[in-house]
A and B are shown apart, each in its own frame.
Chain A
């Protein structure tokens, strides 16, 4: 008899939880076990009702004012309580920054392993998970498996597609649990200055790198993005060293998979490549013919982006009559 039973999915991010439910469904079917969505938070009845429509067998809800400010400790103790009642085989946690911390601390309390940021999950012949993740800054893909259960993995946003809502609605179970008090005091939350729309959703992404001399020059990239119905993004040095943006595309930032990615003045550090690897088509514009990004590109344009981009804008206007 296996003491471990079921596949769990948890994220404080509702979209991400839904995406993981589609993978969770597949894993649960293969293992012939149940799929459960775990909802933890404060006033989360609506979230639970919503998740119940996405192919899960059950939704466990832990609703507590202790979770008001999203500190990790009450979430952690909620998951520990649930796991002590019925230890699951697999726990998928959404890989937000909060989720990554939560998963590492949960794995420590459960004395088990964790694989962060998996982009592929399968069940192997032993009935255990094989998880793939990017390592060495994008130079390698590591295939890992687990020695003990529960097997915990975190999943980045947009890794799996959201399932279609099903006719059948899952049973919602409200758990009343004693939760740990938060150990930190939240004094302020500032919503970051993010793009109008989420870059992960854009079908076309025009990305600027260190070849962009000043922030104002992004107007040119925005113009190109507007014509193509896309959005602009930046590399980590532009966001961090030059502080032009709050978010960036790359291993430690947003991972995107648009239909078209156009990199302008980007050399192609492996950390950036890790964030664009899944783009359907990669166009790279760089004046250095040896730029590493060209190794990753479908279309290679050797030239000065300050000349190529305006020429592209003009030609596209003619083609699309905009």
Chain B
């Protein structure tokens, strides 16, 4: 029966980011956070595997903030227990630092058969932590999985790549990253939420993992600003669809967009 660890990012909810009108800087510190979308797919997949094959699903997050409400949600969605590595150093950590922390946490949690991550996070969409974690734990990595089957200790995974679908087999222990297409994450019922409140949620500090509070950084972010939009925003009007269409074409020809 597989022991599965699902890595969840407590990510910035990108749909709720505001921009400082004067400086064009993104006000990310004020934006609400949530479990990154693709990570929910990873969790759902692990729960589905447990429902079919048994085993255990552990939710894990590494964060500078207190992510306990997000982890309670993960428990309500079906995780058996949850661990939160909380460290202020993660505030400015890059993917290398995050992967290092997760790897140490996983070593402390113990043996595993399968680690599941989302293909990337909604906020930075970098897709690094999963593959980096696989390297650090020295297990096979299978990315962009949109279909997964378990056959004994072998995974059969369908990967959605740029120009093809690739089906691979890999022996566990392994790490996979999943796409959004793999499933539809369940919405917990009230009963699930009540049950989740009784499940184990443990906080881990870097000291518990025997690592220093300072994380190595490889990348420095110098600036994050809203992109400049320089569009004409010409409104095309007309009495009816036919007139609007004709006016659009006339305008496009006049502006040299279409050859008349």
With A and B bound together, what is the CA distance between A194 and B167 in angstroms? 18
B8 interfacial contact with A, CB 8 Å: no
Q: Chain B's nearest CB lies how many Å from the CB of A213?
A: 17
The answer to whether B241 and A304 have CB atoms under 8 Å apart is yes
Q: Which residues of B contact A297 (CB under 8 A)?
A: 231-233
In the docked arrangement, what's the CA distance between A108 and B96, Å? 7
User: Which residues of A sit under 8 angstroms from B169, Cβ to Cβ?
Assistant: 184-185, 187
**A97 lies within 8 A of B161 (CB):** yes
Interface size in chain B (residues, C-beta < 8 A): 78
Which residues from 280 to 303 on chain A have a C-beta closer than 8 Å to any C-beta of chain B? 281-283, 294-303
Alpha-carbon distance A112/B135, docked complex (angstroms): 13
**B167 vs chain A, min Cβ distance (A):** 4
User: How far apart are A261's CB and chain B's nearest CB, in angstroms?
Assistant: 11
Assess whether B207 is interfacial by the CB under 8 Å rule: no
| Dominant secondary structure at the A interface | mixed
A277–B227 touching, CB < 8 Å: yes
- Give the chain A neighbours of B167 by CB distance below 8 A: 186-190
Please measure, in the bound complex, the distance between the C-alpha atom of A114 and the C-alpha atom of B235, giving whole angstroms. Answer: 42
- Interface set of B (CB-CB < 8 Å, partner A): 12, 14-15, 17, 19, 26, 28, 94-96, 99, 119-120, 122-128, 130-132, 134-136, 140-144, 156, 159-170, 180-181, 216-227, 229, 231-236, 241-242, 244-246, 248-249, 251-253, 257-258, 260
Q: Which residues of B contact A146 (CB under 8 A)?
A: 218-220
CB within 8 Å: A-B pair count: 232
A-B contact pairs, 10 of them (CB 8 A): A96-B162, A107-B96, A107-B218, A134-B125, A137-B15, A147-B218, A185-B170, A190-B165, A190-B166, A299-B248
Q: Which chain A positions have C-beta within 8 A of B170?
A: 183-185
Instruction: Enumerate chain B residues within 8 angstroms of A240, measured Cβ to Cβ.
Output: 180-181
A226 at the interface (CB under 8 A from B): no
Cα distance A294–B229 when bound, in Å? 11
Cβ–Cβ < 8 Å partners of B122 in chain A: 137
List chain A residues, Cβ under 8 A from B125: 116-117, 134-135, 137, 251-252
Please state if B17 and A136 are interface contacts (CB–CB under 8 Å). yes
Q: What does DSSP make chain B's interface, helix, strand, loop or mixed?
A: mixed
In the docked arrangement, what's the CA distance between A105 and B127, Å?
11
A173 CB-CB contact with B under 8 Å: no
A136-B26 in contact given A108-B96, A299-B251, A304-B241 (Cβ < 8 Å): yes
Please name all residues of chain A whose beta carbon is closer than 8 Å to the beta carbon of B156 when the two chains form the complex: 187
Question: Are B161 and A98 in contact (CB-based, < 8 A)?
Answer: yes
